[in-house]
Structure 1
Amino acid sequence: MPQVPLSPATPTPKANPSQHRWHLANQFCDLDVFATGAAMHHVRFHLPNGKTVSPLAEASWHETPLDNVAPHIQNIGGEWPCVPFGTTGHDRHHHGYGSDRAWQLIDIDTSSLRLGIDYPTGHVVKRLERTIRLAPDRPEIECGLYIYVNEDCALPIGLHPIFRLPQEEGAFDIAPGAHGQVMTAPQDIAPRDSLLGAHEVISDSGQARRKDGQSSNIWRQTAQLGEEIIAIFDSHGKMSLNYAQEGFRANLCWDARDFPHCLIWIANPGLRAISPAPHFQGIGIEPVNSYFDRNDMTPAGMAKAGVALVAGQAWSCHYRLSCEAVENTNS
């Protein structure tokens, strides 16, 4: 096991509170937490076999301010919570006010912290709190999200980790776990650079029809696609990403009662339509309680998605991100 120095868990000094960062570390993991979005970044897992691996994608332009982009696009990559998720009438911010504003530190030590943010007066959401804790005995991060609302409501809620997407053949595949129907985005939501047909049902084996009449397997040929949005309905709460050439597997686990579906955002590259720096590659594996990222488009006959929230009662969820070593079968 490599020896990892335990850096003091104090904020990086910045004049602007939105630029504050905190560092957490133990012998199994180290990461940064940005005040904006309470987002985890620069996550590194230190595996028992001596390898250090980084499963999450990071944009190349974090330190170069972009014009006319939302803060969560400026900081795109890593992982953060979205309340409400996507585009809704409750919030002018795509993925919610908390995605684009600085959170405040509540409590911290070397391997865990708690952050909070108050939403604006008049918003249906009153306050969010988020915990991040490094497991003391294994390469795993344990996260918690707590939502307080001003009135009873149902809101789409989601998590937004973005993993790296290797381009080499055989370097990457997805093990989606048990799930129901898988479908590409409707035409009104599909990115302009999508290579897949709109509103197509994907086969049980992962075969998806492309616009050019060919097909690709979304689990094994992900890097052959463009910018795609795919929904996995009735997911059972676990997705694994295999980085075969690097010898590790990343696992994301959550409670399917909180997030019954999972959205996949393939950015290969992504953000061309909204960012002046479009060369961002990654794959979002996003547990959600929503219909894609536009709940107003829920089709007739499908139960309206969203988490039932009650004023005066905190709603909470917990989820885990971990890495494990696997044999490199390509070596």
Structure 2
Amino acid sequence: MTAVNSRALAAEAKAAATAAAVAGSNWRLTWDRGQADVFATGGSLHNLVFRLDNGCAVAPLAEAPWIGDPSVGTDASIPAHLHQLGGEWACVPFGTAMVDPLHHGFGTDNAWHAVEQAADAITLAIDYPEHHPIKSLERRLIGVAGQAAIAIELTVEARTQCILPVGLHPIFRLPEEGRGMRLDPGPFVRGYTFPKVFEPGVSRLRPGAEFTSLDAVPLAGEGVADLSRPPADLREEILQLADVGGCVCIDYPDDGYRARLDWNADDFPSLVIWLSNRGRAAPPWSNSFRGIGIEPVNGFFDDTGLAFHAPADLALGRQFHAGERWTTHYRISASILAAPQHEGPTA
């Protein structure tokens, strides 16, 4: 049995154990090429396992090692989404915004309810507070029959006219020490590092820098880092790519597979890449989390307070109209790693 297959099978076994330990209800999705859990908190996707054409099982998304730890789950000082960090969820608004006190939005830290459910699909919804400019969110997750893929649909209903940053938040796993990874976002116009030091004493990228190639991101001192092959000796970093094409391929050459995220680039024209490689010491992190957020966004990083740092031509959010129902589609998939070239989006 290969190492990647062993890890994926272990993820399957762990899913049942963690399901009972995480606050709120959980639901299980199964189809002929995969399975996943959906947590009520955040309406989030977890424990995603795909079966490839060769029968190998792979688990492309990161999951925090503290999920299910009672000492974390009962700590009210830790935001609910950090209790179960990992997997994938939607952020409305994305990051920190004045209209919503919760980082990544009300829907991230509160329980969703099931609207419709089948073995291979589920529709979830959450109502926002009456004072919020957003009225409700709805998510539909569907295991794609015959494919190692899950299709996701997000619908946002606006209560009042507003401009809000919006984003998606899948976190892919980092390879084990000594194993490789290649990150290919396709062509992009320009990249930006975080305007300030992201994690003081840990982050090494030069704040407020621009770049045009992911393999040459400026460091704070001399030299550059190759973020096309993360973690690139970095521990806690965040950067943003502008005008991306709506597809990212994440190759795990030592494990023999490619993970892929497809989305509508008109809905999310930028991509935030968050690398966390045991870089945060505060609870619940305790220098234990490893993952890479591949986050399509319409906004500038994860705080509207940083907007004055943004380039003049960068979209800072989506304009919603009162009563509007806006729907976007995206997809996470995996395949046997064969061709090294980047392919266009399929979403």
* Fold shared per TM-score above 0.5: yes
Deviations 1:183-231 (A, max 9, x none): 110116x222211111112342521222342322110242411200110
Partner of 2:61: 56
Distance, in Å, in 2 between the alignment partners of 1:64 and 1:169 is: 28
Deviations 1:143-202 (A, max 9, x none): 0001111101111000000000114445111011121101110116x2222111111123
Partner of 1:277: 286
Return 131-140 or 218-227, whichever deviates more.
Answer: 218-227
Q: 1:133 aligns with which of 142, 154, 164?
A: 142
Q: Does 1:319 align with 2:330?
A: yes
Return 307-316 or 151-160, whichever deviates more.
Answer: 307-316
Distance, in Å, in 2 between the alignment partners of 1:39 and 1:187 is: 29
Per residue, is there more helix in 1 or in 2?
Answer: 2
Distance, in Å, in 2 between the alignment partners of 1:242 and 1:195 is: 24
C-alpha spacing 1:236/1:15, structure 2 compared with 1 (3 Å): closer
Distance, in Å, in 2 between the alignment partners of 1:162 and 1:105 is: 23
The alpha carbon displacement at 1:41 in A equals 0.4
C-alpha spacing 1:63/1:274, structure 2 compared with 1 (3 Å): closer
Partner of 2:344: none
Q: Secondary structure at the match of 2:151?
A: strand
Q: Does 1:191 align with 2:202?
A: no
The alpha carbon displacement at 1:324 in A equals 0.3
- Runs of 4+ in structure 1 over 6 Å off: 12-16
C-alpha spacing 1:274/1:93, structure 2 compared with 1 (3 Å): farther
Partner of 1:24: 29
The alpha carbon displacement at 1:275 in A equals 3.6
Q: Secondary structure at the match of 2:294?
A: strand
* Percentage of pairs with the same residue: 36
C-alpha spacing 1:48/1:207, structure 2 compared with 1 (3 Å): same
Give the TM-score normalised by the residue count of structure 2: 0.86
Distance, in Å, in 1 between the alignment partners of 2:167 and 2:230 is: 25
Distance, in Å, in 1 between the alignment partners of 2:221 and 2:21 is: 51
C-alpha spacing 1:123/1:302, structure 2 compared with 1 (3 Å): same
Mapping 1:1-331, distance limit 5 Å: 18-65=23-70, 66=72, 67=75, 68-169=77-178, 171-187=180-196, 190-192=198-200, 193-204=202-213, 206-273=215-282, 275=284, 277-298=286-307, 299=310, 301-327=312-338
| Contact in 1 for aligned 2:187/2:245 (Cα 8 Å) | yes
C-alpha spacing 1:164/1:15, structure 2 compared with 1 (3 Å): closer
| Contact in 2 for aligned 1:165/1:223 (Cα 8 Å) | no
The alpha carbon displacement at 1:243 in A equals 0.4
Corresponding residue pairs, total:
318
| Contact in 2 for aligned 1:194/1:228 (Cα 8 Å) | yes
Distance, in Å, in 1 between the alignment partners of 2:89 and 2:28 is: 16
Return 24-33 or 163-172, whichever deviates more.
Answer: 163-172
Distance, in Å, in 2 between the alignment partners of 1:296 and 1:271 is: 22
Give the TM-score normalised by the residue count of structure 1: 0.90
Aligned residue identity for 1:322: S
Q: Which runs of 5+ in 2 are unaligned?
A: 10-17, 341-347
Q: Secondary structure at the match of 2:278?
A: strand
| Contact in 1 for aligned 2:125/2:136 (Cα 8 Å) | yes
Aligned residue identity for 1:319: Y
Q: Secondary structure at the match of 1:72?
A: helix
The alpha carbon displacement at 1:33 in A equals 0.3
Distance, in Å, in 2 between the alignment partners of 1:316 and 1:216 is: 37
